[in-house]
């Protein structure tokens, strides 16, 4: 029998071994994915990098159960090459990956789209989009048949003022998602994205004009949307990581109160 706040016996993710990136605060979507996953029976390993490593280690202590934290900078080949051994040591294999990695230099945001250098635009695309491919291929030696990859997206169908090269990076991420789904289907590995509505995370607060974007979500979606609540998005990730959508891949699941579907 499960204990209060502990893993559920026979939970949605019972027996799953998951790698979760991007846990940098307890307001992050990734943190709540890890929390819900543990309560649904999963084993979880976190990754972090550089000066953020102690922060992620502190966040790991706030989860329902202890979670190991391993060093991973997705732009460093040595870190990627060391990842399979770390997975084998801590989890013994892998049933799911959560990609919650995005970064753009300030010069690539805020309305200076036409002036952004390729170096800064390229950094945004490498870290925010190419990293999905880099992470998945690094993990492949440890991935079980039927594994699921879930990436966090912000719908790139529209151009958002100030979002600039991060918006381009999200469009690239959506394309990477489709190609990974195509090339990994033969291994029975599913690859999907969750396009979240605006959630006031640490990363979101760094976006110029975020207050305007938050106001849109407060007033316009068909369903009420709370910009301070990452749980609806995290629950959608948990479902995609489970066995309940075995024939769904290459998909973008919108968890945005329905805003993407209506005229605003």
Domain ranges of the chain: 17-261
* Fold observed for domain 17-261: Rossmann fold (3.40.50)
For residues 44 and 98, the answer to whether their CB atoms sit within 8 Å is no
Q: What is residue 18's three-state secondary structure?
A: strand
What is the pLDDT, as a whole number, of residue 202? Answer: 66
Lookup result for tokens 């390993």 = 45
Instruction: Give 10-residue mean pLDDT values along the chain (264 residues).
Output: 60 98 95 98 97 96 97 97 98 98 95 96 98 98 98 93 95 98 98 94 70 86 94 98 98 96 82
Q: Please give the C-alpha separations between residue 233 and each of 36, 171, 199, in angstroms, as whole numbers.
A: 11, 19, 9
Q: Looking at the DSSP assignment, which residues form a beta bridge with residue 195?
A: 153, 254
| Predicted local distance difference test score (pLDDT) of residue 72 | 98
- 7 near 44, Cβ under 8 Å? no
Cα separation, 11 vs 2, whole angstroms: 10
pTM for this structure? 0.94
**Stated length of the chain:** 264
Q: Residue 201's pLDDT is what?
A: 75
Residue 6: per-residue pLDDT: 65
Whether the CA torsion 247, 235, 66, 56 is positive or negative: it is positive
- Within 10 angstroms of residue 228's Cβ, the number of other Cβ atoms is 9
**Crossing angle for the helix pair 77-90 and 131-139, to the nearest 10 degrees:** 40
CA distance 191 to 150: 6
Tokens of 23: 């846990």
Mind telling me the catalytic residues?
163, 170
d(CA 78, CA 8): 37
Please give the C-alpha separations between residue 110 and each of 42, 118, 164, in angstroms, as whole numbers. Answer: 39, 16, 7
Whether the CB-CB separation of 203 and 30 falls below 8 Å is answered with: no
């Amino acid at each position: 029998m499960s204990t209060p706040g502990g893993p559920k016996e026979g939970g949605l993710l019972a027996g799953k071994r998951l790698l979760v990136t991007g846990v940098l605060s307890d307001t992050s979507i990734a943190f709540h994915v890890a929390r819900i996953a543990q309560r649904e029976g999963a084993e979880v390993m976190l990754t972090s990098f550089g000066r953020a490593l102690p922060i992620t280690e502190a966040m790991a202590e706030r989860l329902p159960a202890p979670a190991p934290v391993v060093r991973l900078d997705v732009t460093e080949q040595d870190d990627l090459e060391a990842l399979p051994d770390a997975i084998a040591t801590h989890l013994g294999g892998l049933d799911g990956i959560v990609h919650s990695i995005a970064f753009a230099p300030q010069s690539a945001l805020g309305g200076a789209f036409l002036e952004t250098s390729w170096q800064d635009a390229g950094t945004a695309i490498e870290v925010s989009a190419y990293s999905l491919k880099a992470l998945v291929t690094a993990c492949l030696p440890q991935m079980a048949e039927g594994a699921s990859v879930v990436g966090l997206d912000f719908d790139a169908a529209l151009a958002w003022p100030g979002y600039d090269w991060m918006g381009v990076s999200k469009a690239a991420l959506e394309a990477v998602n489709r190609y990974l789904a195509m090339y990994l289907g033969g291994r029975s590995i599913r690859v999907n994205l969750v396009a979240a509505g605006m959630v006031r995370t640490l990363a979101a607060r760094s976006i110029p004009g975020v207050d305007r974007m938050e106001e849109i979500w407060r007033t316009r979606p068909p369903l009420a949307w709370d910009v301070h609540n990452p749980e609806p998005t995290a629950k959608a990730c948990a479902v995609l990581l489970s066995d309940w959508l075995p024939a769904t891949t290459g998909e973008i699941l919108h968890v945005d109160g329905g805003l993407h579907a209506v005229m605003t």
